[in-house]
Structure formats: structure tokens, C-alpha cells
Structure 1
Amino acid sequence: MATSTIVVMSDSHGDRKIVQEIKERYQGKVDAIFHNGDSELPSNDKIWDGIHVVRGNCDYDNGYPDTLVTHLNNATIAQTHGHLYGINFDWTRLELWAQSEDADICLYGHLHRASAWRNGKIIFVNPGSVLQPRGEVQEKLYAKIEITDETIKVEFYTRDHQLYPRLIQEFER
């Protein structure tokens, strides 16, 4: 049985220190690290070495891609910030794009609200914001996702790397 583990952060809004801390904590220990945009850091910053990163609406550096698709040994991961898909108002465009990429997981940011949900076969994950949480959960969070052939488990962690158990979700594949 193949298992992959990824770490996902988003909306760090200029806080380079937390991006570096998460990178140092997990690089070489997980299969991939993702940042879903609004870092407000230069796209050529060395911090991005080894991190899959996309452009958010507050990233004015055009060196970032708007979307990425990453193939791990047991999953296809579609990644975007979300603002270009109108997620403030409707999920349809994001869902259609993820379907067109045959994604197993769709990572997005923009809303600053940690969540994991399913539509069809696709698991959608917003890791929340590591700097400015919004909505019901006012905790600065990032996500860790374990992908097996049978399940996708999404856990959320605080900035001091403590599990935030209230939001754990596990989905059958």
C-alpha cells in the first residue's frame, strides 16, 4: 500500500519566518510541501526551493504560476489560491477545474478558513492561514495530509505545531 504525506500552508502575508519554520520542520520528512499563495514574498526567494507555490491575489510578483498540478505516487494534487475561480461566491469553477485535472485533492487558500470537504471523488482542502485566520476558527493553522490507497486524512496544526483535533477529517477514496 502506497502512502504519501504532504504539508500545506497558505496566506502567510509576509511572514517569512513561519514559512521557513514549517519548511525546516518537514522538508525531507514528507513527500511534498505546498504554499497556496499570498506569501507576499519574491518568487525568486530561496525559501521556495523544494516548495510547490502558487500566486495569490496579494502576490504582485508575476514569477508565480496561478495553478500547479503535482503527481505523487498515489494521488494527483491540483493547487491554486482560489481567487481566480471566484470561490468567495461559488465553488463551481474551482470544482470544474479540479475535475478537468483529474485531481484526487484540490488545494486552495484565499478564504483564510481551514476546511476539508468532498465533492465527488475530489477532496478540497484549505489549510487556513498561518497568519490571519478568518471565520469560526480563529486559530493560525496549516494542514498535514496523509494519502493512502484507501483514505485521505486531513489534520490541521497550529503555528507551534500542535494538532488541532477539532478539524480532523478522514475520507474514503
Structure 2
Amino acid sequence: MSKVLIVSDSHGLTKELEVLRERHINEVDMMIHCGDSQLTPDDKSISGYLTVMGNCDFSGGYPLETISEVSGRKFFITHGHRYSVKTSLMNLKYRAQEVNADVVCFGHSHILSAEVIDDTLFLNPGSIRLPREPMEKTYVILDLLEEKIKLSVFEMNGKEMAELAREFTLPK
């Protein structure tokens, strides 16, 4: 079993990223930042996060998208602005199919969401700086089990929002 922490849209926050890293470093196998950190890649606050470039990341140095594998599940990570995710997940779904992704992590809208489309989990962890829905500053931890993925949502202070926990059955 593996765990993955996903955060997005921190827009210049540094201490918060360090707090998340310290809080979860010993329990997760990978930490993902879905862009708009507004930090340079050599900033110690973002160290340890697999990070992509968002539309507000002007310093460069991050890829626009990346792919990583954890526990046999292929993760596709992008910020989402180039796929018009505020309007529809259609463009992102096509890209996920092209790269054969099991899990798609994205940000941009600052809206926490998780849904399965054609056996692929599309996940937006919300924002830890400027959340839109829910209004809490959120991040997500995924438990990758054999046939299931368990999603847990946390507030920035570490409190789990148990009412938002979900389980997804995905073929491996």
C-alpha cells in the first residue's frame, strides 16, 4: 500500500508547504504539487514535491506536465490551465487517455473535486491559499490499495474532513 499527498495553488506560501512536508514525510511515498506555487524550483519550501508549472509560475523551471508511477498506478500531473479545466474535463480526459493515466492530478480552479471518468480518477485537491469550494484550505492524501483508492481530505491545520472521504474502485 502506498500513499500520495496532493496539494495545489499555494500561491507564494512557503511555511505551509514545509509544515505539510514535515507532517506527512514519514507516511507518504510521494508528494505532488499541481502548480501555481509561485516559487522557484530551488526554493527549499517546495523541496520534495513533484511539481508542475501553473499559469502563475513565471520563474519557469517546472515542466508543464509530468508522469509518475506509484504502486503500479500511473499518475498524470498538470496544472490544468492548458486544458480549460474550469470549463470542462473533456480536454484533460483526452490527454489522460493518450498517456494511459490511472490518476490525473490538477489544480487551477481552486475547487476540491474527485471523480472517475472511464476508469481514471480526476482529482483536484483545492487550494491551500485561496479556496473556492469548499471554503476550507484543503489538500488530499490518496491511499493506493490493490483494487481501490481511498481519498482523504485535510484542512491546512491537519484536521481530516471525514465527511469528504471517498473510495474509488479502479481496475489495476
Task: Assess same fold via TM > 0.5.
Answer: yes
CA distance, structure 2, for counterparts of residue 4 and residue 96 of structure 1: 27
Q: Is 2:15–2:45's contact at 8 Å kept on the other side of the alignment? A: no
1:90-141 C-alpha deviation (Å, 9 max, x unpaired): 2111011111111110000001111110101100110000111103x11100
**In the alignment, what sits opposite 1:26?**
24
CA distance, structure 2, for counterparts of residue 68 and residue 11 of structure 1: 17
Give the ranges of 4+ consecutive aligned residues of structure 1 lying more than 4 Å apart after TM superposition: none
Secondary structure of the equivalent of 1:146?
A: strand
- TM-score for the superposition, normalised by structure 2: 0.95
Matched, 1:36 2:34: yes
More off after superposition, 42-51 vs 102-111: 42-51
Identical aligned pairs, as a percentage? 34
CA distance, structure 2, for counterparts of residue 170 and residue 38 of structure 1: 27
- TM-score for the superposition, normalised by structure 1: 0.94
Matched, 1:108 2:135: no
The gaps in structure 2 that reach 5 residues or longer are none
The gaps in structure 1 that reach 5 residues or longer are none
Count of equivalent residues: 170
**In the alignment, what sits opposite 2:43?**
45
**In the alignment, what sits opposite 1:152?**
149
Q: What is the CA distance between 1:73 and its match in structure 2?
A: 2.5
CA distance, structure 1, for counterparts of residue 44 and residue 169 of structure 2: 37
CA distance, structure 1, for counterparts of residue 8 and residue 118 of structure 2: 24
CA-based RMSD: 1.1
